[in-house]
Amino acid sequence: MKHQLLRSALMVSYLVLITSVFSFRALAQQKNGQEIQFSTTSYKEVLAAAKASHKKVFVDAFATWCAPCKELQQRTFKDPEAAAYFNKHFVNFSVDVEKNEGVELARTWQVDGLPALLILDENGRVLANHTGFVDGKGLIEFAGEAAGNTRSNRSHPASIRGHEHNPWYSNTDTTKLHVSNAAWKKVLSPDLYAVAREKDTERPFSGRYWKSTTRGTYYCAVCGNLLFRSDAKFASSCGWPSFYEPSRANAVHYQADDSFGTHRIEVLCGRCDSHLGHIFDDGPPPTHKRFCMNSVSLDFAPDKK
Ligand code: FE
């Protein structure tokens, strides 16, 4: 009887131990899935690991002073979808191009801008490269291009073309931004900075979009946030692009503007707080609102035919 009890107790302890080990492993895997896991070993060992596992190598070549490199590490590499994809399909290698073997590797890979993202085969041959910030979705797209083993050299995915030096620009990331005007000034054109960050107004009938009727989508020119669909655009005689409603409720936000001795409601981007224009009550149905926007604050992507 005593032996039986002892045996049962041992069995229960064993089961508890096994369950704990599996739970711990599941937890660790879940945690690992939340960001891209970079190898901390040497480049030689990375290639050996790639050979052994028949995987390609994903390289993040960075420098400590590079702000977009930090954005990649803090945002893109922590994108759960990108993390799951890269942890599954690649041996990931992060290297400082100004330190140790990174200096020579950057030369070999002909890195001419940062951050440099590379896909290598197991022999270290460059299959694809990309320079500049990219969001999680863009990173997966980029890696997908390399899957065919054809060498590609994309400066940037379509979503951020024209915004190569703006690490915060994304048409998909809706995370609220808190960026100083000093930082914005470094990446925006003077015209856009004056309107978006200093609340200037472009001259009426001067912008690109006031009379455009092309079907498509309007994004914030500062941060890429989705703002309006062309379906909500209407012909207005005011000389600025006008819409009767934003694409979604939190695409924009509002604040009182009592400048120039008049009371108006200012419209700001819901993601980056940039000035877009004003809202008035003389729009068409169904909302009877007129979102009177500055063209320079908008980026337009026509619908694909
Ligand atoms: Fe914005």
pLDDT tens, residue by residue, 217-246: 999 999 999 999 999 999 988 899 999 999
- pLDDT of 229: 95
pLDDT for the residue numbered 279: 96
Q: Which of 129, 117, 121 is nearest to 56 (CA)?
A: 121
Distance of CA 142 from the midpoint of ligand 1 (Å): 24
Amino acid letter at 221?
A
| Domain boundary assignment for the chain | 38-160, 181-302
Tell me the C-alpha distance between 174 and 76, whole Å.
13
Question: How many whole angstroms from 103 Cα to the centroid of ligand 1?
Answer: 37
Q: What is the pLDDT of residue 30?
A: 44
Distance 204 CA to ligand 1 centre (A): 22
- Would you say the pTM of this structure is higher than 0.85? no
pLDDT the model gives residue 33: 52
What integer pLDDT is reported at residue 192 of this predicted model? 95
Annotation says 269 is catalytic: no
Percentage of residues of the chain with pLDDT beyond 70: 83
CA of 176 to the centre of ligand 1 (A): 9
pLDDT of residue 9: 62
Cα dist from 121 to 88, 102, 110, whole Å: 15, 18, 16
Distance from C-alpha of 223 to C-alpha of 275, rounded to nearest angstrom: 12
Architecture of the domain spanning 181-302:
Beta Complex (2.170)
Q: What residues of the chain score a pLDDT lower than 70?
A: 1-6, 8-33, 146-161, 305
Tokens of 206: 């001067």
Output the CA 170–ligand 1 centroid distance in Å. 9
245: CA distance to ligand 1 center in Å? 17
222 Cα–ligand 1 center, Å: 5
> Cα(274) to centroid of ligand 1, in Å?
6
**Cβ neighbours of residue 51 closer than 8 Å, sequence gap 6 or more:** 122
Q: Which of 3.40.50.150, 3.40.1080.10, 3.90.1170.50, 3.40.30.10 is the CATH number of 38-160?
A: 3.40.30.10
Q: Is 18 exposed, middle or buried (0-12, 13-18, 19+ CB in 10 A)?
A: exposed
Secondary structure (DSSP) of 2-52: HHHHHHHHHHHHHHHHHHHHHHHHHHHHHHHTTS--EE-S-HHHHHHHHHH
Of residues 69, 220, 272, 292, which has the active-site annotation?
292
H-only helix segments in the chain:
2-32, 43-53, 67-74, 80-89, 101-108, 136-146, 181-187, 190-198
Ligand 1 midpoint to CA 168 (Å): 9
Q: Give the separation between CA 208 and CA 297, rounded to whole angstroms.
A: 10
The two domains 38-160 and 181-302 share their CATH topology (first three levels equal):
no
